[in-house]
Structures are given as C-alpha cells and as structure tokens.
Amino acid sequence: MSDHEDLRSFGLGRNLSTFDPKDWNLRLFALRRTDITERLWGFNHEALDQKDKPHCGGFSMAHFGLCLPTFSDYTNEDGDEFYKQCKITDLQPGWENGTSVRSIAVTGQKLKMWPNYAFATDVETIYAWLLNSGPVIMGTNWYTDMFMPNGNHVIHPTGDLAGGHAWVAIGVNLNSGYIDGLTSWGPSFGDNGRFRIPMIEFRKLFAQQGEAIAAIETGKIDPSGIVEENPGCLSALKKVWGK
C-alpha cells in the first residue's frame, strides 16, 4: 500500500444511474440452486490501474471482460477508451466527471460487448448470479477505510464517504460469508486488485443506493420468474477495437 498512501491517487467516478423502467430485472434470469455455496470466477491477469482518473466505469467493463468465464485481453488503454465511450452515452463527450452503471450497461451493449443486460435489485439475486452464471459489475459508495485492505485483503465500508466507485464482484462464499471483488487500482491493491467484503456489510452497502448489472444472453423467461435455460454469462467476449 506504500504507493497509495495519498488517497488522492485512487480514482473513483461512479455516478448514480437514472432509473429506466424498460431495464430488465436480473431476478428473472438468475438460477437459484441450493447445491452450490461458493464460487470464485478466475482472474488471470495483472489488475488494471485507472490511477487518479474518474474512469472506474470504463475499467469495470475491461475487468469484466478479463474475468472468466469470459476472457478478452483488455488493457488500461481499453479501460480509458470504454470510459470515453460511456461519456458519449452520457451526452458529455470529453468530460472527466465519472459515469453511471446504467451508462456502462448501455455502452457495453452499443459496443456489442454483450447483447443484453439486467439490473439486480437485491443481494440474493447478486449471490445467485455469482454462484451460477458469472461476475457482476457493481456501483456502490466507497468509504475511506475501504482503501486499506487488511492482511487477509478484507475491506470494511467504514470511515468517511469518499465518493462512488464501480468495481466487479467476482465471487461469493456463503460458508465463510464473504463477497469477492476486483477493483482497478493496480496489482498493489489487495491481492492483485482483489479484495473481500463481509456479506453482512455488503448488504448494508448495497442498500445505500447500490447498483449491479450482469450481461445476459437471450433466454426464455418463465412467468413465474424462473428461467427455462440458464442464459449465463457470455461464452466469449471479443475485443471491440480490432486488436
């Protein structure tokens, strides 16, 4: 953490989304199996680094693509470019004032990173998606104590409110009671950008106007709210810059 003693070196940049009733609810797509109690989606890449820029939205898109079960070899340059595209979606091209989770979702769809997306409105749906389908892009408040993982890479949403941050939830363990996350402040943060939050604290954090989206493929939605076939995370993501 010596490289991050000054909290100003941590870029944030998540703005609250504008509600759109046309957005899909992830609850209609998430399988709710009881035989799986833990999952950690692989991340076999050096954590990206947004530095002090408010580009966490673009970098959460890049990290989502770098995680299994998808894998696209995105770079810091891609994270910056994704943020730039989000600001075009926001009708604020060139602005350095952050972006919203909904802009992330819409921009990813425009760039054909995913065909569809859905918002999770409760933590149980987030847990179900993480256990059965894939990572989730999060937008939450970020507190000063969250910049300082302990020796086990655990963070706690305490201290003063620093701002909003977009990051990727990459796993959950119902047995130990932790959510696994991935943020974009380089490999020196936590365990190569990875950290853990106690589930009880994550629930409280999400209740503070937290947001979560998942990329979904077209699936058949059962009126009872159970999907006939698991749309899952996308089987593959392709780089959109022609690299």
Structure confidence by residue, pLDDT tens digits, 82-123: 999 999 999 999 999 999 999 999 999 999 999 999 999 999
Can you give the pLDDT at residue 235? 40
Contact 133, 171 (CB under 8 A): no
CA dihedral 77, 82, 85, 87 (to 10 degrees): -100
Can you give the pLDDT at residue 32? 84
Residues of the chain with pLDDT under 50: 1-5, 220-231, 234-243
Minimal CA–CA distance to 14: which of 61, 62, 64, 54? 54
pTM (whole model) above 0.85: yes
Q: What's the DSSP call for residue 196?
A: E
Minimal CA–CA distance to 209: which of 102, 118, 121? 121
The residues pairing with 212 across neighbouring beta strands, listed in sequence order, are 138
Structure tokens at 58: 């673009």
